Structure 1
Amino acid sequence: MRAERVRDQIDGLAAAGLDWTTFGAAAIETLRRALPFSAACLATLDPANELVTATVKWGDVDDDHDLQWSYYEYEVDDVYDFRAVTRRPGAVTALGTETGGDLARSRRWAEMFSPLWDYSDELRAGLAADGATWGGIALFHQGGRTFTPAEQEFVSSVAGGFARGLRAGLVAGAVDLAAAGDGDGPAVLVVGADDEVVSANAGAEARISELGGGTLGEAPLPQIVCAIVGAARRRALDPTAPPPRARLRSRSGRWLVAHASPLVGRGDRGTDVVVTLEDARPPEVIPLIVASYGLTDRERDVVGLVLAGVDTADVAQRLHLSAYTVQDHLKKIFAKVGVRSRRELVARIYTDHYVPRLVGGGGLAPSGWFAG
């Protein structure tokens, strides 16, 4: 009965309209009522490539070791990573289960989990909704405790609620103009082979601060920077690896795109990585915003045409549907997005995410997007 109540409470939090960090912190506390654990890390993923974009942590796991996390997640061939877990039955596994109790088979455990935090087991689960993976969660035990199959099954059963909460949280709230500022153009920084920032342009520190980081060279880098640095180094060794590029929202609510490329080194020098953080353009982020409302593929098709200004009759003709079917799709779309008309639908997507840039007084660049 406690497990069922926790599932209901997580589902309620997912529908409460919370931003994703507030939802994540509350959902982790709720989960502990049915499943005690020593520490937890909840991560958002870009559903296009399942790259970690940000985290909420609970317990003694901290932000100071994000570069180590990213190293073992993206560069080391370990027993599993988040992408592998999302493809497991139930999208869940535990370190003790994967290693048959021989935890030393995992470099992540032997070189980080055990010496830093004395963790005795890790449970990971992928958080998917409507066929897209929006996040992942890692739970930890100490003192020799391990996660049982029943506990793994329980976490798998609440994963959908977590995913819906993360997905909804990505579009909660509008841009905070005071925090976002007027835009300083792309931020560019080079992270050396020793994981130290080698150089950065004038706008880098402001962007890093917007993502929760501190003074460059003194404070830990934000999770997204750590993740794409590790992903870029893996791609340097394996060209088939996913491109290190991800979309995310900053703390001010601004949509950003982060991407990275490995630089060619000389001799035995390790891989330096150049990282770029820039404002996301409509073609990059509108599909993510629309998907965040939990629309079906056909509903997304309808929304795409509505956003382009196509009337109902032409939508029906282009999608080979009747006008009545289009209207039925629109009713379902309005219910999911929380609006009552086409006008409100367009306003919800554009006003919350783009109009603040217009009223901020920024001009347009030759590309047609806002100038820095």
Structure 2
Amino acid sequence: MPPTTLTPLAVERVTRDVDCLSRAGLCVDEFFAEVLDSLGRVLPTEGACVATADPATGLVTSSRKYGDLVHRNTHDHEWGLREFGDVEETTFVRMTETGRVAASVHQVTGGDVAASRRMAEFMRPYFGFDDELRGLFLEDGRCWGAVAMFRGDGDHFTPGEVDLLAGLSPFLARGVRSGLLASAAEVLPGERPHGPGVVIVGRDGEVLQMSLGAEAWIEELVTGAHSGAAISAVAALVGAARRYAAGETTTPPRSRLRARNGMWLVLNATPLTGPDGLTDQVVVTIEEARPPEIVPLVVAAFDLTARERDVTQLVLQGVDTKEIAATLHLSTYTVQDHLKAVFTKADVRSRRELVSRVFFDQYQPRFGEEVGVDGWYVS
């Protein structure tokens, strides 16, 4: 790989590019493609993988691959199990916990890349990579996604390249947040799987059983031409569930994600205990998210201040301006100013549009359909 000189001017240029892209209202696929194109001019790699994550749990919810990794998805299931089931200083979860925004494996291991099981047992044997540069998309301690970039042939990432990626973190987080809301759900009658999908995974990580609708749900996890294997999101939950069952983490194995058709889904993993007391199997459920499950995620994606979130929460409860002012000990003029800011960030013009944007994005196409005994749509 030809050497590059990472000059201050080059760093300034790519930072400005990514900042502008994060404000452009691009969907996630467009945003990632444009960012990697800009980064590639100053930070060459052989391959890269970019992922979105649930900011509440840090679990990967989708992935896109570029360079030598495109369409090489055979081992994605194993990657998910390793990434969220093993403990290393450079796993995405561990980096979030320690506040390490970016790192190269070569740097963290002091040059002993083989000390990383992920590199020694996975990246080198399967792909021939000799170093990995990872960066988190962090904002207020929450991880909205991450990128992993790779080099082979003995090439390693420099401290300057690590610093560059770390500096882009808030812009990358902003781009993912806005990208998740860039498109409304487009779901036609008859296109939705019926009932929740259930996947049972065995001790060795293999899928033992699936419910009739599970495969259709999993297909909705494929994001596009650059998508990694859809099953990797399930594998990530399985790895996290095993650590949760062992008491190694207190974060529930749960993730919310936006499917290919724009609908919000929620995935939960539950470890099962076998006769020997060991966690033998893990059950993963995939189903359409209900409003209370996605409202915090959607509101967080608007990039509101703490006070704007307080106002928004009361608006969503149907509280009028005068009551909001009394509850928050503010003047009605201040509440109106906060509402104007919220409307601008949410790209709406009224309370009604705000409520619709938060609650009804994916449910509007289904109004008029049959409702079951639990008050939810039958199909």
TM-score by length of 2: 0.90
Asked if the contact 2:27–2:180 (Cα under 8 Å) also holds between the matched residues in 1, the reply is: yes
Query: 2:183 maps to what in 1?
Result: 173
Q: Trace 1:169-248 onto structure 2 (pairs within 5 A).
A: 169-178=179-188, 181-212=191-222, 221-238=230-247, 240-248=249-257
Is the 8 Å Cα contact of residues 268 and 285 (structure 2) preserved in structure 1?
yes
Q: Residue in 2 aligned with 1:311?
A: 320
**Alpha-carbon deviation of 1:363?**
2.7
Residue 316 of structure 1, CA deviation: 0.7
How far apart are the structure 1 equivalents of 2:138 and 2:189? 31
Q: Which residue of 1 aligns with 2:20?
A: 12
Q: Which residue of 2 aligns with 1:47?
A: 55
Choose 299-308 or 179-188, whichever is displaced more.
179-188
Distance 2:189 2:150 in 1: 35
Counterpart CA distance in 1 for 2:295 and 2:377 is 16
Task: Give, in angstroms, the shift of residue 182 of structure 1.
Answer: 4.4
Counterpart for residue 157 of structure 1: 167
Cα distance 1:71–1:196, how it changes in 2: closer, same or farther (>3 A)? Answer: closer
How far did residue 225 of structure 1 move?
0.7
CA distance in 1: counterparts of 2:329 and 2:278, whole angstroms: 58
- The match for 2:329 among 305, 320, 323 is 320
1:258 to 1:180, Cα distance in 2 relative to 1, 3 A: farther
Give 2:374's aligned residue: 367
Q: Check if 1:118 corresponds to 2:125.
A: no
Residue 221 of structure 1, CA deviation: 4.7
What's the secondary structure of 2:75's corresponding residue?
Answer: helix
Q: Could you say which residue in structure 1 is the equivalent of 2:111?
A: 101
CA distance in 2, matches of 1:89, 1:263: 32
Q: Which runs of 4+ in 1 moved over 4 A?
A: 87-90, 266-270
Unpaired runs of 5+ in structure 2? Answer: 1-8
The aligned residue for residue 77 of structure 1 is 87
Aligned residues of 2:104 and 2:132 also touching (Cα < 8 A): yes
The aligned residue for residue 29 of structure 2 is: 21
More deviation, 111-120/72-81: 72-81
Tell me: CA distance 1:353–1:330, structure 2 relative to 1, closer, same or farther (3 Å). same
**Aligned with residue 67 of structure 2, among 34, 37, 59:** 59
**SS of match in other structure, 1:318:** helix
Q: Distance in 2 between matches of 1:28 and 1:347?
A: 34
* Larger CA deviation: 236-245 vs 103-112: 236-245
Please give the per-residue CA displacement for 1:224-276, whole angstroms capped at 9, x wherever unaligned. Answer: 11110111122222264421101001000111100111222345987321110
Which position in structure 2 is the counterpart of 1:249? Answer: 258
**1:35 to 2:43 alignment:** yes
Q: Is the alpha carbon distance of 1:235 and 1:132 closer, same or farther for their aligned partners in structure 2, counting shifts above 3 Å?
A: closer
RMSD: 2.2
Query: 1:278 — aligned with what?
Result: 287
Q: Equivalent pairs: percent with the same residue?
A: 45
- Secondary structure class of the residue paired with 1:2: helix
Residues 111 and 239 (structure 1 numbering): CA distance in 2 closer, same or farther, change over 3 Å? closer
1:192-236: CA deviations, max 9, x gaps?
2233321121211111111129xxxxx955221111011112222
Q: Is the 8 A contact 1:179 1:252 kept in 2?
A: no
Which of 352, 358, 365 is the aligned partner of 1:356? 365
* 1:173, distance to aligned residue in structure 2 (A): 0.9
> Any conservation in 1 of the 2:273–2:279 contact (CA below 8 Å)?
no
For residue 347 of structure 2, what is the aligned residue in structure 1?
A: 338
Give, in angstroms, the shift of residue 180 of structure 1.
7.8
Query: Taking structure 1 as reference, are residues 353 and 131 closer, same or farther at Cα in structure 2, changes over 3 Å only?
Result: farther
Q: Which of 277-286 and 184-193 deviates more?
A: 184-193
The question of whether the paired residues in 2 share the 8 Å contact of 1:85 and 1:124 is answered with no
- Say if 2:267 and 2:286, in contact at 8 Å, map to a contact too: yes
Closer/same/farther in 2, CA of residues 199 and 28 from structure 1, 3 Å limit? same
Q: 1: distance between equivalents of 2:79 and 2:306?
A: 35
**Distance between the aligned counterparts of 1:253 and 1:189, measured in 2?**
22
CA distance in 1, matches of 2:170, 2:189: 32
1:216 corresponds in structure 2 to none
Deviation at 1:118, TM superposition (A): 1.6
Residue of structure 2 aligned with 1:347, choices 335, 352, 356: 356
SS of the aligned residue for 2:273 comes to coil
Contact 1:72 1:78 (8 Å CA) reproduced: no
Is the CA contact 2:222–2:229 (under 8 Å) kept in the aligned structure 1? no
Q: Secondary structure at the match of 1:263?
A: strand
- Aligned length, in residue pairs: 365
Q: Is the 8 A contact 1:128 1:163 kept in 2?
A: yes
Corresponding position: 1:145 with 2:145? no
More displaced 10-residue stretch of structure 1: 347-356 or 144-153: 347-356
